[in-house]
């Protein structure tokens, strides 16, 4: 993949392959999230902390049950189902993977919220399946880092949001100017981007992009400390899984994509430890 662009089919293919790893985790954790877990004093255990990330984002987005939420990059439906159950609110999830969308629909049915949720095949840069002025909150939990053109995604969000609408995102961002990264750090970012189909950008750039796409009242909160236990855990797992996985890879049990994702997990934690990468919660209002 080129670093200026991203092919959504390739991103979907990466996820479809990584679902093999995720499914094992989902089985023993009892949920189907694809995001980082946010730990605090009351949420000290991995599954609880994964739910806590969604709680933090919903609270910041002021969800109260009266809104139509559009979940861009809805994964296996966990955050859509969580909002529908917690707030009895209408949620539309979009994704570029039919496999994930199918799991999302099953997830919603299992939790009795099929009537509140809809899952569409749609690219969040286009939002072709979503009417103008039809949603109150555009929610993205670790979705926009998959964009090589965040301005386009935010313009699409502007189109579908009502005049009083808002956006709420959590994601990984560089804490520093990308041009200030050492060649070694740039190499680590490329490893992460290639392995996970990401285009990580800086938080400052994102703040500028939000105002350039007419979002106001931008609030940015640094949640990095809360997700460190999760990234450390993933790195520890990768330390064991990568060498063992290489053997299993030779035996055809694990794929190159799965192996690359272990390496990417270790690099994410290294860059967080170095203070170069952070995890941010960002909210903003349509400025109309």
Ligand X SMILES: C[S@@+](CC[C@H](N)C(=O)[O-])C[C@H]1O[C@@H](n2cnc3c(N)ncnc32)[C@H](O)[C@@H]1O
Stretch that binds ligand X, among 141-149, 157-165, 182-190, 225-233 (CB under 6 A): 141-149
CB 107 within 8 A of CB 78: yes
Size of the site for ligand X (CB under 6 A): 25
DSSP letter at 251 equals T
78 near ligand X (CB under 6 A): yes
Q: Among residues 43, 146, 188, 263, which is the contact residue for ligand X, using CB under 6 A?
A: 146
Residue 9 burial class via C-beta count within 10 angstroms: exposed 0-12, middle 13-18, buried 19 and up: exposed
Cβ within 8 Å of residue 274, ≥6 positions away:
185
11 near ligand X (CB under 6 A): yes
Q: Among residues 67, 79, 260, 267, which is the contact residue for ligand X, using CB under 6 A?
A: 79
Q: Kindly compute the dihedral angle of the four CA atoms of residues 266, 185, 169, 130, in this order, to the nearest 10 degrees.
A: -100
Nearer to ligand X, 54 or 249 (CB): 54
Q: How far is the CB of 194 from ligand X (least distance, A)?
A: 15
Would you call 203 helix, strand, or coil by DSSP? Answer: helix
Q: How far is the CB of 253 from ligand X (least distance, A)?
A: 24
Question: Which tokens in the block code for residue 80?
Answer: 């859509």
CA atoms within 13 A on the CB side of 109: 7
Query: 42-65 burial, b for 16+ CB within 10 Å, e for fewer?
Result: ebeebbbbbbbbbbbbbebbebee
75 near ligand X (CB under 6 A): yes
Phi/psi-derived region of residue 147, left when phi > 0, alpha when psi is between -120 and 50, beta in every other case: beta
Nearer to ligand X, 157 or 276 (CB): 157
CB 142 within 8 A of CB 268: no
Q: How far is the CB of 142 from ligand X (least distance, A)?
A: 4
Stretch that binds ligand X, among 37-45, 66-74, 81-89, 237-245 (CB under 6 A): 66-74
193 near ligand X (CB under 6 A): no
Stretch that binds ligand X, among 68-76, 112-120, 154-162, 230-238 (CB under 6 A): 68-76
Site string for ligand X, 95-134 (x = CB under 6 A): xxx--x----------------------xxx---------
Rounded to an integer, what distance in angstroms lies between the CA atom of residue 61 and that of residue 118? 20
Q: How far is the CB of 23 from ligand X (least distance, A)?
A: 13
Contact positions vs ligand X (CB under 6 A): 8, 11-12, 15, 33-35, 72-75, 78-79, 94-97, 100, 123-125, 141-143, 146
């Amino acid at each position: 993949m080129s670093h200026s662009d991203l092919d959504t089919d390739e991103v979907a293919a990466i996820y479809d392959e990584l679902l093999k790893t995720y499914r094992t985790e989902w089985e023993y954790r009892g949920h189907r999230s694809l995001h980082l877990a946010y730990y605090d004093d009351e949420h000290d255990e991995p599954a609880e902390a994964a739910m806590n990330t969604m709680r933090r984002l919903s609270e910041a987005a002021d969800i109260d049950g009266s809104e139509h939420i559009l979940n861009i990059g809805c994964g296996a439906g966990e955050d859509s189902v969580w909002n529908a159950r917690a707030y009895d609110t209408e949620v539309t999830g979009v994704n570029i993977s039919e496999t994930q969308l199918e799991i999302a629909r099953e997830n919603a049915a299992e939790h009795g919220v099929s009537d509140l949720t809809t899952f569409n095949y749609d690219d969040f840069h286009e939002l072709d399946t979503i009417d103008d002025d039809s949603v109150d909150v555009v929610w993205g939990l670790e979705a926009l880092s998959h964009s090589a053109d965040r301005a386009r995604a935010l313009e699409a969000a502007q189109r579908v949001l009502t005049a009083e609408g808002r956006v709420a995102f959590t994601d990984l961002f560089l804490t520093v100017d990308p041009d200030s990264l050492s060649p070694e750090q740039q190499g680590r970012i490329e490893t992460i981007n290639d392995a996970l189909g990401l285009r990580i950008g800086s938080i400052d750039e994102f703040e500028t992009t939000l105002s350039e796409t007419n979002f106001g009242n931008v609030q940015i909160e640094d949640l990095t400390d809360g997700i460190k236990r999760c990234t450390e855990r993933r790195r520890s797992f990768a330390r064991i899984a990568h060498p063992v996985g290489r053997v299993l890879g030779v035996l055809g049990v694990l794929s190159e994509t799965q192996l690359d994702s272990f390496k990417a997990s270790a690099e994410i934690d290294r860059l967080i430890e170095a203070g170069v990468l952070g995890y941010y919660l960002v909210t903003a209002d349509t400025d109309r």
